[in-house]
Structure formats: C-alpha cells, structure tokens
C-alpha cells in the first residue's frame, strides 16, 4: 500500500470484503493506484477488481474517494456506496452481475434513442 491508499481507512474494508466474498480473492494494491484493491480471476485473464475507499469524504481533486469502484472483465465499471452493496452485487456470482450490467446498458441505449 502507498500513502494514497490510506491504510487506516482501506485495510479494515479489505479485511471485511475478503471475509465476506470468500475464496479466491486476494489483495492487489498497485502503488500507482489511488485506492487499494482486491481482485479475483474468474476465467483465464478475466479479472474482477474492487477498489476500496481511501477516504471518508470524497475529494476527487485530491484523489480521495469514499465509494467502491469495480472493474469487471475490463468491460464494466460499476460503483457502489457500501460493502454490503458490493457483496450483494456478487451474491449470485460474477456472471449474474455481468448479465445485470448488460441489461442496464441495454436499457440506457434504448432510452437514449
């Protein structure tokens, strides 16, 4: 972890996520990222990464974020406000989450037409 990750905020969150999400998840903190993260490989080279908050209050100009950002197979980038929302999103597995994200994307396209 680096100073931007703010271990005081991020470490307890990561610990709780690892406990709640189960096997296969591991810490994946890159020093050049603003936020600490965990990830899991679901298929060969198909990863889900979860970037955890590094602050209690958001201040994007100082790279301080209070939300969870997820990268799903480098295609979808949902955001969540709480640990419980992250866990709920993955409750039925990553493929159900992808199906849900695809449906949201399709509705947005239909509404914009």
52-76 tens-digit pLDDT: 999 999 998 888 899 999 999 999 9
How far apart are alpha carbons 76 and 69 in whole angstroms? 10
- The model's pLDDT over 86-110, given as tens digits with 9 standing for 90+, comes to 999 999 889 999 999 999 999 998 9
Question: With 80 as the cut, is the pLDDT of residue 1 above it?
Answer: no
CA distance 79 to 85: 9
> Domain boundaries in the chain?
3-112
Q: Sheet holding 68-72: strands in order across?
A: 26-27, 37-43, 46-51, 68-72, 79-80
Give the pair of three-digit tokens for residue 60: 């994007």
d(CA 48, CA 24): 11
């Amino acid at each position: 972890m680096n100073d931007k990750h703010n271990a005081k905020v991020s470490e307890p969150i990561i610990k709780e996520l690892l406990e709640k999400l189960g096997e296969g998840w591991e810490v994946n903190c890159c020093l050049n990222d603003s936020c600490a993260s965990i990830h899991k490989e679901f298929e060969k080279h198909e990863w889900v990464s979860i970037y955890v908050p590094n602050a209690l209050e958001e201040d994007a100009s100082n790279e301080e974020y209070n939300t969870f950002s997820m990268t799903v197979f480098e295609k979808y980038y949902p955001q969540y406000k709480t640990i419980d929302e992250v866990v709920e999103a993955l409750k039925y597995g990553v493929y159900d989450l992808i199906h849900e994200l695809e449906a949201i994307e399709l509705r947005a396209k239909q509404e914009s037409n």
